[in-house]
Structure 1
């Protein structure tokens, strides 16, 4: 999933640079029929970071270079976007752990590069802890990038999950919608990102994967949760219903996150969901790594599983 995500994030940033230009072109062509030649400037590649640290897990950081919107995309080009030989460290305030570049393989067979602790070597190693604060430092191409994230102690509590049957217009009665009951802490801001896993498939984020407590602060509420999707594939609106099926085993990964992580995924979700819509408002992806694109995020993850009988 990580290798796919970094490709998706890279394409989103390229797409966002094009949105204002597309809006301008639509306005110009609607106003007159005069031939217009536009010189599209190509921007220099930027560092793209996808860094994650979860409770009870070691951190992982993927580094790549952004692509031009007009770049052709294939496996060789993606392979060349990865940033190698960077110096990457994570500090918990009292210890600093160095991450090593590793070549990893996804279940689907694709490979990607990530910086992770090399447990075969002597050194300092620690996993993420709830209420921890973590500083990521990246040194590459004579530049240094830093960002801080937290793994929240409190926020929203996942009470229970259940499913209801959905009747589709085509008469299909085998589809199921997932629901969750959540209690929000009235004394702390609540930000959540969730993922679902269907049977033995990979774990994917929902099409709109983040929740906040602006409306539900301090309450217990019920909310439907979409089935997660592979974001390297744009869902077909005629066949995607965000539903599960009878006989599925569903695993929900429910993560409290801090606001910068929520801001990043809120804006990425919006950009993904409005991609190709010329009437949508331009969206700026809100990363939390000064000088680079992307994010460094802490996740306080909990899991619940449910089996839906046929």
Structure 2
């Protein structure tokens, strides 16, 4: 408490010599933002937008106008190449645009395979971009999932999800997870990635937080748990290191947002000249019902 008078004094001094200060922040050059994924057993999809200024006002019109149209997007597996066409998706009145294989030419498209190496090429705004990703083997083995009843505050109907995972002897395995509650969409965890630096070559058990919608406010005391009666599906994905690094740094930046003591975080994308990532996912699913 001895420093309170000092703080009060500083406030009084600065209020006595108040002066308007204007800071001219440089305008950042607009960049292409890529969100591209290719999952095992499915077709790839790529979302292209333009970056927005840090202090830009964001509303549905601005977001809609940020999508990049008429780009040329292809994916190659080394022997075959498919072209992705721009398609419109309406999610309850909100439109967004995604590049996927043309449904009228699906015979020439191919789905992701384990250990496949895939090159994404984009031509947009008179610029060319290229990135390579791998859909790895299922090195991290998702053995089983289960749950335990927990009490959160005064609520005794909450449950904690657990998973048992086996890691092979060789280092260098990475994973990302999502959860789906009932008919809701799959959502990533608040910290959605793991690696085998500590658990290499072991079978280990970890708690699995419920996935979150990061566009909404999150109750940090309750978000991680499921409810009695929920049907929960865990989507567990082996990923390569570049995909891991992107989501590791993005998760950290999101979780430290607003913390004045956190270090600045550089998001590690894997698309030279653009922001974002092109990532491959080797997917495993397990579903469990939390009894009432």
Bigger CA drift: 154-163 or 47-56? 154-163
TM-score normalised to the size of structure 1? 0.86
**Which of these residues, 63, 67, 70, is aligned with residue 78 of structure 1?**
63
Bigger CA drift: 176-185 or 33-42? 33-42
- What CA distance in whole angstroms lies between the structure 1 residues aligned with 2:226 and 2:103? 38
Could you give the per-residue CA deviations for residues 253-309 of structure 1, whole angstroms, max 9, x where no partner exists? 000000000000001101111111111110000000000000000000010000011
| 1:236 CA drift (Å) | 3.0
Structure 2 vs 1, CA of residues 195 and 122 (structure 1 numbering), >3 Å: closer, same or farther?
closer
Identify the structure with the greater strand proportion. Answer: 2
Contact 2:171/2:196, CA 8 A, preserved across alignment: no
**Alignment size in residue pairs:** 278
| 1:109 CA drift (Å) | 3.7
2:268 aligns to what SS in structure 1? coil
Match of residue 288 from structure 2:
306
Match of residue 13 from structure 1:
none
- Structure 1: any 5+ residue segments left out of the alignment? 1-28
- Structure 2: any 5+ residue segments left out of the alignment? 1-9
Answer yes or no: is 1:52 the counterpart of 2:37. yes
Larger radius of gyration: 2
- What CA distance in whole angstroms lies between the structure 1 residues aligned with 2:289 and 2:87? 36
TM-score normalised to the size of structure 2? 0.91
Q: After TM superposition, what 4+ stretches of structure 1 lie above 4 angstroms from structure 2?
A: 32-36
- What CA distance in whole angstroms lies between the structure 2 residues aligned with 1:277 and 1:42? 24
- What CA distance in whole angstroms lies between the structure 1 residues aligned with 2:182 and 2:76? 36
Could you give the per-residue CA deviations for residues 84-142 of structure 1, whole angstroms, max 9, x where no partner exists? 00000000000010000011122x44221010000203762101001100000000111
> How large is the Cα RMSD of the aligned pairs?
1.7
Bigger CA drift: 70-79 or 285-294? 70-79
2:199 aligns to what SS in structure 1? coil
